[in-house]
Amino acid sequence: MRTSVNLPLLFLFSIIPDIDLLIPSLVQHRGPTHSLIVYCLLLLPTLLAYRTKSLPYLISLASHTLADGLTGGAQALWPITTNWYGTRIRITSLTNIYAEWTLFLASLTLLLTTKELWKLLKPHPSNLLLTIPITSIFNSTFLGFPIPVPTQLVAPHLIELTIFSLSILIDLRWISKTT
């Protein structure tokens, strides 16, 4: 069954776990905000109400925790346990770089083959949600916050930054023409 998704919202959900970076004195990075159990509990009402239509957003949240499991681990089962799960592969390792390139190319291929990329580049009010992923990409790529991006991963970050920025610029241009 095909489920229609709001791509800007999906991209926003993919970085929500890093909200802990904004509240470091309250929560350890990759701690409770990266918990698969917390996601399921928080989205349970949405899952019950919208069923399969809400699954892409839950998967987007979960993918963040699973990706963080590659580089440093996360408290994926908090509050049941405070154990950290992951491979602890360094972000600068070739394994991580190949994995990130593979995931980037797979997602870009999916965006192109489903023609969702072209929808993203059309005016839509939710495109403004992309300012949050843009900030995250910009900070990690150019400011090294929360961690510096390895040089080999700058290209996919710049491509994502370009796509998201174009989406917003197209939206802003459309808004200025209609007002």
pLDDT confidence tier of residue 174, bands split at 50, 70 and 90? confident
> Is residue 81 a contact partner of residue 38, using CB atoms and an 8 Å limit?
no
> Is residue 121 a contact partner of residue 170, using CB atoms and an 8 Å limit?
yes
Whether the per-residue pLDDT at 1 is higher than 60: the answer is no
Instruction: At 129, give phi and psi (nearest 5°).
Output: -60, -20
Measured distance CA(172)–CA(179) in Å, rounded: 11
Measured distance CA(122)–CA(125) in Å, rounded: 10
Mean pLDDT, the chain, as a whole number?
Answer: 90
pLDDT confidence tier of residue 142, bands split at 50, 70 and 90? very high
Which two structure tokens, joined as six digits, stand for 137? 């990409």
Alpha-helical regions (H) of the chain? 7-15, 36-50, 55-70, 94-113, 116-120, 131-138, 154-178
Helix (H, G, I), strand (E, B) or coil at 163: helix
Which two structure tokens, joined as six digits, stand for 19? 């909200």
- Please give the model's pTM, rounded to 2 decimal places: 0.86
